[in-house]
């Protein structure tokens, strides 16, 4: 009768039919003793047993490999399914929002939240109302609600802070403590210490803190950045003029004008303040702040922030590179999407988890670094004013 051999390779390694029978036979103490006595070299059976165990271990390993691979694949599929499920939940999620403050920026926020771009991240934002110290009733079908209701409502997930600069810090803190995401107009605070504390609070609570910087979204600036990219700076000046501001509400010029500082940091990298002065003519309501920086490559940059009655809002540049000087802004087409809508889309992308950790980290560094520098500038100017007085 033919013998069925399920593992030919194993049978081959076990040797002749006689040895297989001998190995397969049950071993009693007497049998083991006889075997050892009959063996000319002694100890043959233990060596055969060891060999048989090694072969069987090899068979088991080969049999388990596909099963282990299948188990790993199943775990990977489960993890992937979980991640996909999370993303699908975010994609389908709606975020209730409230606008705090109804000045020029606040009204623009209400308009864009009520009329989001089709097929854009902003379609995931739903306006529940606005908060204001003044009584309006409704604005473009948006209803006015109290600050307490906005903080308490479980339907509101994010707040758009569009108040005067002086109250940004307080409002951010209140809404973060209430567990809301926050979008705030620049500057987020009027001190570097407060800004760092607020950012740390947002991270601890797992909330998005987005600081609006629409000056980086203009087509004019985008084109300028392309022109500057890759060029070696020799020296440069950015000169801004504008109308008078109430510093009790807007803060020191280094903070209220932080959009210009943001330009310089974004264009030329980290900067160091070498000197800062401020000229004030109270009788004429005139102010001129002049700040000198040094780039990481020891190249000089100057920022001038000048304000007075009737002064036109304007920016002038004079950037000199090894390849030549740039004194005029490059021509740029008008964007089809408004600046506040672009900023709103970016905030919504953050809420939906569509912005990389690297981009978020770079943005955080830029914002906090600019606020650190603004505080250093203020300290330089005030120290000199105290000496002169």
Specify which residues 275 forms β-bridges with. 292
Taking the C-alpha atoms of residue 255 and residue 189, their distance in angstroms, rounded to an integer, is: 8
What residues contact residue 212 under an 8 Å CB cut-off, 6+ apart? 183, 184, 185, 186, 340, 343
The answer to whether 142 and 130 are in contact (CB under 8 A) is: yes
Q: Which two tokens stand for residue 270?
A: 């980290």
Share of the chain above pLDDT 70, in %: 78
Contacts 24+ apart (CB under 8 A), 147-152: 147/100, 147/174, 150/98, 150/100, 150/175, 151/175, 151/178, 151/180, 152/178
Select the more confidently predicted residue: 82 or 346: 346
CB atoms within 10 A of CB 379: 14
Instruction: Catalogue the long-range contacts made by 204-208 (C-beta closer than 8 Å, 24 or more residues apart).
Output: 205/176, 205/179, 207/176, 207/179, 207/180, 207/181, 207/182, 208/158, 208/181, 208/182, 208/347, 208/350, 208/351
Q: What is the pLDDT of residue 24?
A: 46
Average confidence (pLDDT) over 330-343: 94
From residue 117, give the alpha-carbon distance in Å to each of 127, 129, 131, 341, 357.
Answer: 14, 19, 24, 8, 25
Confidence of residue 14 (pLDDT cuts 50, 70, 90): very low
Question: Which of 91-100, 211-220, 257-266, 338-347 comes out lowest in average pLDDT?
Answer: 91-100
Q: Is the pLDDT of residue 84 over 70?
A: no
**Predicted confidence (pLDDT) at residue 136 exceeds the cutoff of 60:** yes
Q: Residues 352-367: what's their mean pLDDT?
A: 97
Percentage of the chain lying above the pLDDT 90 cut = 73
Closest CA to 221 of 274, 263, 251, 186: 263
Torsion of CA 48, 51, 52, 55, to 10 degrees: -160
Which range (47-56, 69-78, 303-312, 360-369) has the least confidence?
69-78
- In order of 25, 214, 246, 285, the CA distances from 288 in angstroms are 105, 24, 15, 11
């Amino acid at each position: 009768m033919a013998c069925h051999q399920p593992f030919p390779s194993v049978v081959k390694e076990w040797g002749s039919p006689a040895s297989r029978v001998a190995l397969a036979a049950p071993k009693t103490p007497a049998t083991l003793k006889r075997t050892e006595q009959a063996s000319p070299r002694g100890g043959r059976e233990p060596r055969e047993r060891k060999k048989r165990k090694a072969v069987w271990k090899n068979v088991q390993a080969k049999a388990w490999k596909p099963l282990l691979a299948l188990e790993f694949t199943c775990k990977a599929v489960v993890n992937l399914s979980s991640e996909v499920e999370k993303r699908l939940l975010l994609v389908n999620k709606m975020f209730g929002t409230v606008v705090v403050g109804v000045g020029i920026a606040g009204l623009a926020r209400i308009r864009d939240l009520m009329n989001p771009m089709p097929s854009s991240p902003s379609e995931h934002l739903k306006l529940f109302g606005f908060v204001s110290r003044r009584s309006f009733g409704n604005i473009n079908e948006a209803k006015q609600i109290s600050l307490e209701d906005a903080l308490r409502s479980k339907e509101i997930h994010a707040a758009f802070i569009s108040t005067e600069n002086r109250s940004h810090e307080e409002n951010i803190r209140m809404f973060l403590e209430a567990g809301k995401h926050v979008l705030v107009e620049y500057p987020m605070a009027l001190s570097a210490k407060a800004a760092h504390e607020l950012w740390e609070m947002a991270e601890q609570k797992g909330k998005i803190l987005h600081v609006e910087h629409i000056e980086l979204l203009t087509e004019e600036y985008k084109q300028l950045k392309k022109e500057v990219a890759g060029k070696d700076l020799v020296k440069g000046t950015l000169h801004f003029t504008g109308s008078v501001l109430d510093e009790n509400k807007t803060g020191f010029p280094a903070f209220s004008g932080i959009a210009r500082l943001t330009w310089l940091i974004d264009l030329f990298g980290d900067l160091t303040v070498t000197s800062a002065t401020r000229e004030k003519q109270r009788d004429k309501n005139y102010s001129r702040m002049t700040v000198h920086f040094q780039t990481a490559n020891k190249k000089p940059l100057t920022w001038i922030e000048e304000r007075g009655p009737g002064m036109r809002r304007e920016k002038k540049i004079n950037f000199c590179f090894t390849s030549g000087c740039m004194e005029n802004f490059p021509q740029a087409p008008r964007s089809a999407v408004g600046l506040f809508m672009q900023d709103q889309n970016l905030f919504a992308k953050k809420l939906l988890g569509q912005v990389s950790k690297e981009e978020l980290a770079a943005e955080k560094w830029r914002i906090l670094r600019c606020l650190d520098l603004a505080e250093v500038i203020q300290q330089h100017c005030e120290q000199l004013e105290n000496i002169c007085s």
